[in-house]
């Protein structure tokens, strides 16, 4: 009986922590940290957070605290070993890339420049 109670308590604790992380996820955010010539991208974060594991995109996040912004590592020029911003967001063969994920998942989202980077 104690094992069952411990399991239930652990499951409730885990669910509560997951809910806290989920609740902190913003509805939308703007990706403009690489300062390219293209318009900033309005990213529907909550739509993605509802469907996918956070660690697909936040692949260096250990699950503690808030995950870093993508552009904190994926800059215009690249930082340390991280791919440059353009490559990180546009590589067709990477599931962690916007274009790569959208291309692999039918109907998942836009893959054309103008769809994400609207003309002002």
Task: Domain count for the chain, please give it.
Answer: 1
pLDDT in tens, 42-77: 999 998 999 889 988 898 899 898 888 888 888 877
Would you say the pTM of this structure is higher than 0.85?
no
CB atoms within 10 A of CB 45: 15
Residue span of the structural domain in which 105 resides: 26-116
Residue among 72, 71, 53 at smallest CA distance from 63 = 53
* Residue at 31 is within a domain: yes
* Residue at 41 is within a domain: yes
* Residue at 83 is within a domain: yes
pLDDT in tens, 13-43: 444 444 444 456 789 988 887 767 788 899 9
């Amino acid at each position: 009986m104690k094992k069952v109670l411990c399991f239930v308590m652990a499951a409730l604790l885990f669910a509560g922590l997951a809910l806290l992380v989920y609740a902190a996820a913003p509805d939308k955010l703007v990706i403009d940290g690489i300062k390219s010539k293209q318009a900033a991208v309005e990213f529907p974060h909550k739509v993605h957070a509802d469907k996918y594991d956070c660690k697909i995109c936040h692949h260096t996040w250990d699950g503690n605290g808030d995950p870093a912004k993508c552009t904190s590592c994926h800059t215009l020029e690249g930082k340390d070993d991280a791919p440059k911003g353009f490559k990180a967001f546009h590589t067709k063969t990477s599931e962690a890339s916007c274009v790569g994920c959208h291309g692999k998942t039918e109907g998942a989202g836009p893959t054309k420049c103008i769809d994400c980077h609207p003309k002002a």
